[in-house]
A and B are shown apart, each in its own frame.
Chain A
Amino acid sequence: MKLRTVEEKLFQLLMIAATILIVTSLVVILVTVLVKGLPALRLSMITQIPKGGFYLGKEGGILNAILGSFYLAGGATILAILISLPIVIYFNVYASKGSVFVNLCRFSLDVLWGVPSIVFGAFGFTIMLFFGLRASLLGGIIAVALLILPVMSRAMDEVVKMVPRDLLNASYSLGATRLETSVKVVVRQALPGILTAVLIAFGRGIGDAASVIFTAGFTDAIPTSLMRPAATLPLAIFFQLGTPFPEVQERAYASALVLTIMILVISIVSRILTRSFTKHVIK
């Protein structure tokens, strides 16, 4: 009888300890980035592009990488929306419920979700070889769009699935086609969830480095065309950390702080958006 209680207490303690450790690891990461990054952070870092000898510790900033990441993740997100939204509407409005094809597609997307980003990069690279493209913003956008496609489409799928069947029927019985119903009713009803899915995907796109390493290249200039290479923030961090100069490494910490803040802001904004876009949603 007593052993039982001891075991109960022991495991409860272990569980709480594990939970604290995991939360602590998040706190440690955030604090480390803040403590190491803040002293090295200068306004010039986010308003200037690298000047000559930047990676040797000279003047300049990482505006090229910040903008490059935004262009790249933004482009990829738009491309991924253009693919995900129709797919999800097909799954939930057009296809018959329990369709084998749809379930196979969902399965395939789930599996794709687990494929490492470096493999998306390598695949993007083979596509570019196929079309004779060089490392460019466009190449990066394609690789990242494919990378975030499963995240986005499955997250959207989960919310669109929740749209009540009777709401669709209400629209059908007014003589609306499935397309009209999808665009005007389904998307509006699921809008908060769709926005969240888009932001999650955007966050994943902006933070990923392995998929763009082959495909987007790197440059000190701000990209001016889809065919030009583009710098990205995660790669800028990686390269700065890789130099042997402490002052450049410190800039890497500062850049990591910028990236982390961006991710935090995206995460918070998605929470706020989710709340404020619910006014039309039918419960």
Chain B
Amino acid sequence: MEYKAHIRVRNLSVSYGTEQALKDVTVDLPEKKITAIIGPSGCGKTTLLKSFNRLIDAVDGIKVQGEVYLNGDNIYGPGIDVTHLRQKMGLLSQRPYPLPMSIYDNVAYGPRIHGIRKRRRLKEIVEHYLRESSLWDEVKDRLHTPASSLSVGQQQRLCLARGLAVEPEIILGDEPTSALDPTASQRIEEKFLQLKAKYTIVVVTHILRQAIRLADYVVFMYLGQLIEHGPARKVFENPQEELTRGYIKGVIV
């Protein structure tokens, strides 16, 4: 099975001060598929993910070498507008972080920033993306209450709606279900499976079963190095590397 690459990582190395978080990573992530980045904690999964939307820029003493191509443009190249780049990627973090405003304003935040002022249009957008993240029915009567009043699971879906409302091409998930209960996690996973028809999804997870349930493509990292990557079935059923085999069997935690 051939994949069309959406994000292409070339010789990416990232270090914080003296500590090397990523070592010479080269990988292609397929378009409109779910890619799971797996590996034991501290292996550089999250660093790799955050290098895609350059959120790692804000970290102290960070050094980035190598290239990441999005649609053929190197996002670490000169003349790249970081805010524009980030708009193309929605992020779901480990814990949901709704913005300190109402439910409605959370979803409208991105579109407003990007220049949509008409109230009718904003209303349509908010409703559309709240439906898209299956939250609409639960919140349609209290759109103007604070987002902080929602349950954690609802907050995570709100964050998804908020991310989708800026019309990204890619959804990045940084262990997006780790703060949720099993039911809420399941809803997010179902959502991902529906959304991959329209978006490229990259999920960092430390739950192997989740990766098996979701992933079309798997990237296995260990101590900052890319050990193995390939179609999910192939990696899970017939891993080529000793380390991968160990991790999948639960020997390496």
Residues of chain A with a CB closer than 8 A to B87's CB: 174-175
Stretch at the interface among B65-73, B96-104, B214-222, B224-232: B96-104
What separation, in Å, do the CA atoms of A166 and B96 have in the docked complex?
Answer: 9
Residues of chain B with a CB closer than 8 A to A2's CB: none
Select the residue from A98, A164, A185 with max chain B CB neighbours within 10 A: A185
Decide yes or no whether B114 CB sits under 8 A from chain A: yes
Known: A170-B159, A173-B53, A188-B100. Is A283-B113 also a contact (CB below 8 A)?
no
Residues of chain B with a CB closer than 8 A to A283's CB: 148
For A, the interface residue count at a CB cutoff of 8 angstroms equals 28
16 of the cross-chain contacts (CB-CB < 8 Å) are A98-B60, A166-B93, A166-B97, A167-B99, A167-B100, A170-B99, A173-B163, A174-B86, A174-B113, A175-B110, A176-B113, A177-B83, A280-B101, A280-B146, A281-B148, A282-B148
Contact check, B100 vs A166: say whether CB atoms are below 8 A apart: no
Decide yes or no whether A64 CB sits under 8 A from chain B: no
Decide yes or no whether B192 CB sits under 8 A from chain A: no
- A window 182-231: CB within 8 A of B: 184-185, 188-189, 191
Contact check, A169 vs B55: say whether CB atoms are below 8 A apart: yes
Residues of chain B with a CB closer than 8 A to A245's CB: none
- A window 227-283: CB within 8 A of B: 279-283
Decide yes or no whether A4 CB sits under 8 A from chain B: no
Known: A98-B60, A174-B113, A175-B166. Is A188-B55 also a contact (CB below 8 A)?
no
Distance in angstroms from A112 CB to nearest chain B CB is 27
Contact check, B100 vs A164: say whether CB atoms are below 8 A apart: no
Distance in angstroms from A97 CB to nearest chain B CB is 5
Q: Chain B: which residue is nearest A93 at the CB level?
A: B58
Contact check, A279 vs B146: say whether CB atoms are below 8 A apart: yes
What separation, in Å, do the CA atoms of A167 and B55 have in the docked complex?
Answer: 12
Interface residues of chain B, those whose CB is within 8 Å of chain A, are 53, 55, 58, 60, 83-84, 86-87, 89-91, 93-95, 97-102, 109-110, 113-114, 146-148, 159, 162-163, 166, 172
Residues of chain A with a CB closer than 8 A to B86's CB: 172-175
Decide yes or no whether A110 CB sits under 8 A from chain B: no
Residues of chain A with a CB closer than 8 A to B97's CB: 164, 166-167, 169-170, 282
What separation, in Å, do the CA atoms of A281 and B60 have in the docked complex?
Answer: 27
Distance in angstroms from B107 CB to nearest chain A CB is 10
What separation, in Å, do the CA atoms of A69 and B110 have in the docked complex?
Answer: 43
Decide yes or no whether A59 CB sits under 8 A from chain B: no
Residues of chain A with a CB closer than 8 A to B55's CB: 169, 172-173
The 6 tightest CB contacts between A and B, nearest first, are A175-B87, A173-B91, A174-B110, A280-B100, A189-B100, A170-B97
Distance in angstroms from A266 CB to nearest chain B CB is 25
Residues of chain A with a CB closer than 8 A to B90's CB: 173-174
Distance in angstroms from A191 CB to nearest chain B CB is 8
Contact check, B60 vs A174: say whether CB atoms are below 8 A apart: no
Distance in angstroms from A116 CB to nearest chain B CB is 37
Residues of chain A with a CB closer than 8 A to B102's CB: 280
Residues of chain B with a CB closer than 8 A to A176's CB: 83, 109-110, 113
Distance in angstroms from B81 CB to nearest chain A CB is 9
Contact check, A282 vs B98: say whether CB atoms are below 8 A apart: yes
Contact check, B100 vs A185: say whether CB atoms are below 8 A apart: yes
Say which residue of B58, B60, B93, B146 sits within 8 Å of A170 (CB atoms). B93
Contact check, A175 vs B114: say whether CB atoms are below 8 A apart: yes
Decide yes or no whether A24 CB sits under 8 A from chain B: no
Q: Chain A: which residue is nearest B114 at the CB level?
A: A175
Q: Chain B: which residue is nearest A184 at the CB level?
A: B109
Distance in angstroms from B11 CB to nearest chain A CB is 25
Q: Chain A: which residue is nearest B110 at the CB level?
A: A174
Contact check, B162 vs A175: say whether CB atoms are below 8 A apart: no
What separation, in Å, do the CA atoms of A97 and B114 have in the docked complex?
Answer: 28
Residues of chain B with a CB closer than 8 A to A171's CB: 99, 109
Known: A96-B60, A175-B114. Is A170-B91 also a contact (CB below 8 A)?
yes
Q: Chain B: which residue is nearest A167 at the CB level?
A: B97
What separation, in Å, do the CA atoms of A97 and B17 have in the docked complex?
Answer: 13
Select the residue from A173, A176, A180, A281 with max chain B CB neighbours within 10 A: A173
Contact check, A173 vs B89: say whether CB atoms are below 8 A apart: yes
Distance in angstroms from B113 CB to nearest chain A CB is 5
Residues of chain B with a CB closer than 8 A to A164's CB: 97
Say which residue of B89, B95, B99, B114 sits within 8 Å of A185 (CB atoms). B99
What separation, in Å, do the CA atoms of A280 and B100 have in the docked complex?
Answer: 5
What separation, in Å, do the CA atoms of A180 and B82 have in the docked complex?
Answer: 14
Residues of chain A with a CB closer than 8 A to B84's CB: 175
